[in-house]
Amino acid sequence: MAADGTVTAHDGVPIAYRDYGGSGRALVMLHGIGGNLESMDGLARRLGAGRRVVTVDIRFCGQSGDAELFSFDDTVADLETIAAELALGQVDVVGASLGGIVAGHYGGRHPESRIVSIDGFAAGTVRHATPQDAAAFEVWSATTRAGLAALTAPPESGDRAWMESQVQQVLAFFDRLNYGSPHAEVEARRQFVARSDGTFRRHPARRLLDDQLADLSRSMVHMFHECDGPTLIIFCTEAQWPAGLELELNDLVAAKPNVELIRLPLTHLAPMWNAADHIAELIDRFLTTHRAS
């Protein structure tokens, strides 16, 4: 049976996790920017055979705490703390969206780990084949920033009635995206952290977004160029990414023989539930084919 717990990060931030138990090499799983560890439950349960699976609420998300600033160095350190506290030993990391970016950063520090990123690409730039692609990228960037700003629009906290109304807004958003999670309401509610005064704070926090958008000078796939261990990138071609991302991914695979790229005709959220069986099969095959060092 899965057990929830919390570890304290190096800077005092509480980091929430769910340990599914099991034996074998540990597999740590990370959610996307609008989600939490509940988002990964479907894949976690499908990948548990012969592994010890642990899902994590990334800092500023779910029931984990906030810090003064968000950095990927801190998220990597959080995973290292979890591995140490739970005596996991060497771990492999699977992440979706934001979690895939974190996985890439973890792989840059841990070549012994196998890394899977499910449609996880950083805020940044891409190579453009034409001036039209460059113009389209600017439109895409502005639209994406506006959407993220709306996701974290104030107020960020309120009473129980405010929290309940926010949950319903999240569920309506899931419906519009045809997000097929059977735990959608549980996932939505996990985004609100209860305070001692009876109010609730909403996650993800705006700080998480602002700090990621502070430096847009690097490639959207820069973290994967630092990965020297086996790395799988699942690219959802129906996720409305900018055209130049294909060029960046092609350059990456050409430069890094350890990186495998799979293109799937899926929307951004489909891998976690709607297409979970197929995604789990691909991940299992990758982990089986590329034996741990």
Domain boundaries, the chain: 3-128+213-289, 131-202
CA-CA distance, 269 to 6, in Å (whole number)?
Answer: 26
Distance CA 284, CA 14 (A): 30
The pLDDT tens digits of the residues spanning 16-74 come to 999 999 999 999 999 999 899 999 999 999 999 999 999 999 999 999 999 999 999 99
* Gap between the Cα atoms of 233 and 253, Å rounded: 10
> What is the pLDDT at residue 173?
87
What angle do the packed helices 72-85 and 98-109 form, to 10 degrees? 70
The pTM score is 0.96
List, for residues 64-73, the tens digit of each pLDDT value. 999 999 999 9
Q: Is the pLDDT of residue 293 over 70?
A: no
Q: Given CATH 3.40.50.1820, say whether it is the number of domain 3-128+213-289.
A: yes
**Tokens standing for 24?**
């074998």
- pLDDT at residue 223 greater than cutoff 80: yes
Query: What three-state secondary structure class fits 202?
Result: strand
Tell me how far apart the alpha carbons of residues 167 and 191 are, in angstroms, rounded to a whole number: 9
| pLDDT tens-digit readout, 115-139 | 999 999 999 999 888 899 999 999 9
d(CA 53, CA 65): 22
Q: How confident is the model at residue 215, as a pLDDT?
A: 86
Average pLDDT, the chain: 95
How is residue 259 written in tokens? Answer: 């990186």
pLDDT number for residue 54: 99
Span 275-290, average pLDDT: 98
Question: What is the C-alpha to C-alpha distance for residues 220 and 3, in angstroms, rounded to an integer?
Answer: 35
